[in-house]
Chains A and B, each alone.
Chain A
Amino acid sequence: DAKTTQPNSMESNEEEPVHLPCNHSTISGTDYIHWYRQLPSQGPEYVIHGLTSNVNNRMASLAIAEDRKSSTLILHRATLRDAAVYYCILSDPNSGYALNFGKGTSLLVTP
């Protein structure tokens, strides 16, 4: 299975942009890059996903490197409610496209 590597934790000030990096050097050509987040005591929540091109939605932006070996989740203006664990995931086509969760990046947002 293709794996991802993320920093254990990051810290940001409120209302500033946050760039969460992810390495996935063994990604295959058909793997989508997914980002989910998990707020305390809640189930994971979808944030964004992409294949090759950069993607934007109301929650965030996803910047994908040209060689697809890394990506960056961008939160344009962090709020206190964005404090969560962020998971960068490559789904596994051999397990019904189940999500391979690692430990993710714990984002702390300070006022």
Chain B
Amino acid sequence: NAGVTQTPKFRVLKTGQSMTLLCAQDMNHEYMYWYRQDPGMGLRLIHYSVGEGTTAKGEVPDGYNVSRLKKQNFLLGLESAAPSQTSVYFCASSYDDRDLRVQYFGPGTRLTVT
């Protein structure tokens, strides 16, 4: 049981380049989330998904797109990277249950855009 895994762990992009971050979970969770964390700050929600084939915008969605084609995977895409997207990106997942809505986080992807 690997929990929540994220690929890659580190990446450096040039302004304007594109990339996709992959999040995978093996806990059969319905809900999945993408957050970003800037230095000295708490995490902010980018996009989330409440089930396979569904996605929705969070607090800071601009410049990002997501897809949830399979229940276990949640992809975050940057179409044209900007320096303001330099951050640590965390993926999380949880059950859809009022009493079990605990989020499990991945180890993060550290992205630098130059």
A residues with CB within 8 A of B? 32, 36, 42-46, 49, 87, 91, 95-99, 101-104
Contacts and interface: CB of A to CB of B under 8 A. Distances in A.
A101 B90 CA distance: 13
Nearest to A96: B48
18 contacts: A32-B101, A42-B107, A42-B108, A43-B90, A43-B107, A44-B92, A44-B103, A46-B103, A87-B42, A95-B59, A96-B31, A96-B49, A97-B31, A99-B45, A101-B35, A101-B43, A101-B44, A103-B40
A72 B95 CA distance: 25
Contact of B48 (A49, A98, A102): A98
B111 to A, nearest CB: 15
Nearest to A102: B42
A43 B34 CA distance: 12
Contacts of B49: 96
Contacts, number: 53
Given A44-B43, A91-B101, A98 B107 contact: no
Nearest to A103: B42
Contact of A103 (B41, B45, B102): B41
A102 to B, nearest CB: 5
Report, nearest first, the 5 A-B pairs whose CB atoms are least far apart. Answer: A101-B42, A43-B105, A101-B43, A96-B48, A98-B45
B50 interface: yes
B31 A99 contact: no
Interface in B68-114: 90, 92, 94, 101-108
Contact of B101 (A36, A45, A97, A102): A97
Interface in B30-56: 31, 33, 35, 40-45, 48-50, 56
